[in-house]
Structure 1
């Protein structure tokens, strides 16, 4: 009890350090903010998870225990999406109410600028930007993986978490000229597998261009990476070699040891969805795609890496837009009106994000420009609204 009293006094003393104006505004902002988080999270979970889980309970026999676990594991990913939306709704509701009650006008009449009035909202936006980044990078990837594993376990589906189709890997290095032992740089191997499942590659084709003038093709029903020996073990296949003169030889094998690096295995183990990857995982994936020559996937990963930062930045952007827009208006906004306005602004923002992200992935824009353009455009709009609110 003594410790609790000391802790309360400590918090109270720190809270009083904050200027009175900011303490008042924060008290006004927090209730609608927590309401908005609850509202957006419930709506998004209902549409994105709950209905699907109910269908699986009815149609596939998923037990209620596993359904609740999946629901809880999915919660962080929807919370992350709710944070920016909640900031927008909270600032719209709070500052529009203060405007309609002439409290904003009263503050301006005693010399408090619009920038100072919305500073508390921006601080809340900065704080939520940090929390959103931590959630999105440290909590969401692991919780999404746990949700998928729990769902598969509940449905009695075999755990093929490493199941991937159409694995392609290009290896670059020295192409040797057998007649002179000279070498040139270029693609030495092209690896393709139809499936990757249970640590095995299925229906493998390997093209070998490492000897100038020679072309070799290995076809195997399956293959796996032998970590201790650092080689590939292929089973049940053929090797066709074409010489510079046009002659060819064909060899049938049951088992064949092939000296290729572990690149195909690493490519296959990269999650296709960035929501299953931390920032560190995404950076490793980008480097691996670049080394393998898969420039399209490397570009896509660069965009997803930048989006790890732009998603949290939406909290700052929305806090600026919401507070500036509401300070300009003198009509009180109800919760339903604030919710509707928030949906419209969020929809516009995410349409911009989708369009520019697609342009970044396709190569029409650089990944950096594609990912950050919606943030910069929206931030510029917020600055304009702030300027107009100060008139």
Structure 2
């Protein structure tokens, strides 16, 4: 069995790598064509576009791993069937359960690789790619908003710790590639949502440890109860600079522009908690978080889907037809996986249910396929 295990593993890994390289080459070409209109804007040159596309490849590896595993495994098992190798293996007392066990061991390797690309490589490369592109494009491509970007955090007694004493709404007109904020407005409320302070600043820079330094600051303080008699108690002050401690960091601001599917589970968990603490809708990020946790195991489901093809002999269709079937099954899985994410948000389904249903549907399809080929 060790020899068979090694033989299965070598052939499947080789086929999966070949399919993955083909998919990456195809989508790299499409991405490069999409980047060409941005070339020569600011300092963005063709080498920047090529580098940007290359940095996006780890994200595609993560997304296409289940599809590549499905197509590669179908190809190998179809070759075994067409050469009668699988028939000989079965005659040598290899049961369906033993074959499935060998595929699971190989699939676990792809599960680990998918986790590594999804959690470590792809999120970091995506952030670096976006930062590189914005820096090369310069001010012409800074994140600028018509009505400003809005976000919210909590005000605590001792900065980031202690009891909650209020909330702060932050509005930013423009975010530069170096995380500098331009035209900043902050509205601070007490626990009863009475406006107590309004702060405007020309710009702000991040100093680290949750500290933002505001420049050219205008601060207006309001009394707890504002009436005609209290209008004289409204105080306005001006400062050259002022430090503000906030839960909002450049990482949280970058999340607002990032595709949740390209974020790591750790970042998603942190941002989801931030939204929950501020009583904001986090459904989209919760679904993305659970998809991030469960998606790597979809490679095992794809292995199970490929196994019935080993029982189909040449008379049931050539290898090319089986590969085409694998491509179509992979595309359907990819589309259904995306579809359920949107359906989950529209129907407020539990995030875990939304993330798991596509994999369970295809696992059921794999079991039905195995039952059919064994009976026939």
For the criterion TM > 0.5, the same-fold answer is: yes
Find the residue that maps to 2:138 and give its secondary structure: coil
Counterpart pick for 2:149 among 153, 161, 166: 166
**1:30-59, Cα deviation, whole Å (9 max, x unpaired):** 443232122111112222x22123444478
RMSD of the alignment, in Å? Answer: 3.6
Kindly indicate whether residue 21 of structure 2 is the aligned counterpart of residue 38 of structure 1.
Answer: yes
Q: Which moved more, 1:341-350 or 1:263-272?
A: 263-272
CA contact (8 A) 2:155 2:168 kept: no
> Paired residue for 2:9?
26
- Pair 1:32–1:236, CA change in 2 (3 A): closer
- Pair 1:259–1:150, CA change in 2 (3 A): closer
Give the number of aligned pairs: 358
Structure 1: gaps (5+ residues): 1-17, 175-184
Q: How much does 1:94 deviate?
A: 2.0
Counterpart pick for 1:270 among 252, 255, 261: 255
Kindly indicate whether residue 263 of structure 2 is the aligned counterpart of residue 282 of structure 1.
Answer: no
- CA–CA separation in structure 1 for the residues paired with 2:210 and 2:132: 34
Write the mapping of 1:232-311 to structure 2, written as runs, cut at 5 A: 233=214, 235=216, 237=218, 239=220, 241=222, 244=225, 246-247=227-228, 248-249=230-231, 250-255=234-239, 261-265=245-249, 267-270=252-255, 272-274=258-260, 277-294=263-280, 296=281, 298-311=282-295
CA contact (8 A) 1:142 1:276 kept: no
Kindly indicate whether residue 101 of structure 2 is the aligned counterpart of residue 116 of structure 1.
Answer: no
> Paired residue for 2:170?
192
- CA–CA separation in structure 2 for the residues paired with 1:245 and 1:95: 77
**1:160-188, Cα deviation, whole Å (9 max, x unpaired):** 888785222153779xxxxxxxxxx9983
- CA–CA separation in structure 2 for the residues paired with 1:112 and 1:118: 10
Q: How much does 1:379 deviate?
A: 1.8
Q: Which moved more, 1:28-37 or 1:245-254?
A: 245-254
- CA–CA separation in structure 1 for the residues paired with 2:126 and 2:69: 24
> Paired residue for 2:160?
none
> Paired residue for 2:318?
333
CA contact (8 A) 1:167 1:193 kept: yes
CA contact (8 A) 1:222 1:234 kept: yes
- CA–CA separation in structure 2 for the residues paired with 1:245 and 1:204: 21
Kindly indicate whether residue 36 of structure 2 is the aligned counterpart of residue 51 of structure 1.
Answer: no
- In the superposition, the TM-score normalised over structure 1's length comes to 0.76
> Paired residue for 2:115?
133
Write the mapping of 1:336-375 to structure 2, written as runs, cut at 5 A: 337-362=321-346, 364-375=348-359
**1:333-366, Cα deviation, whole Å (9 max, x unpaired):** 334x344323321222122212221233456111
CA contact (8 A) 1:169 1:191 kept: yes
**1:260-282, Cα deviation, whole Å (9 max, x unpaired):** 74124464253532355333222
Write the mapping of 1:195-214 to structure 2, written as runs, cut at 5 A: 195=173, 197=175, 198-200=179-181, 202-210=183-191
- CA–CA separation in structure 1 for the residues paired with 2:226 and 2:36: 65
Q: How much does 1:90 deviate?
A: 1.4
CA contact (8 A) 1:113 1:390 kept: no
- CA–CA separation in structure 2 for the residues paired with 1:68 and 1:231: 35
> Paired residue for 1:104?
86
**1:97-119, Cα deviation, whole Å (9 max, x unpaired):** 33334433343344322222343
Find the residue that maps to 2:198 and give its secondary structure: strand
Counterpart pick for 1:384 among 328, 346, 368: 368
CA contact (8 A) 2:218 2:236 kept: yes
- Pair 1:159–1:114, CA change in 2 (3 A): farther
- In the superposition, the TM-score normalised over structure 2's length comes to 0.79
**1:125-170, Cα deviation, whole Å (9 max, x unpaired):** 21111011111211111212222233344x4424988878522215
Find the residue that maps to 2:171 and give its secondary structure: strand
- Pair 1:365–1:275, CA change in 2 (3 A): closer
- CA–CA separation in structure 1 for the residues paired with 2:216 and 2:41: 40
Q: How much does 1:20 deviate?
A: 2.4
CA contact (8 A) 1:205 1:219 kept: yes
- Pair 1:72–1:258, CA change in 2 (3 A): closer
- Pair 1:213–1:196, CA change in 2 (3 A): closer
Q: How much does 1:229 deviate?
A: 11
Q: Which moved more, 1:161-170 or 1:82-91?
A: 161-170
- CA–CA separation in structure 2 for the residues paired with 1:173 and 1:59: 44
CA contact (8 A) 1:209 1:216 kept: yes
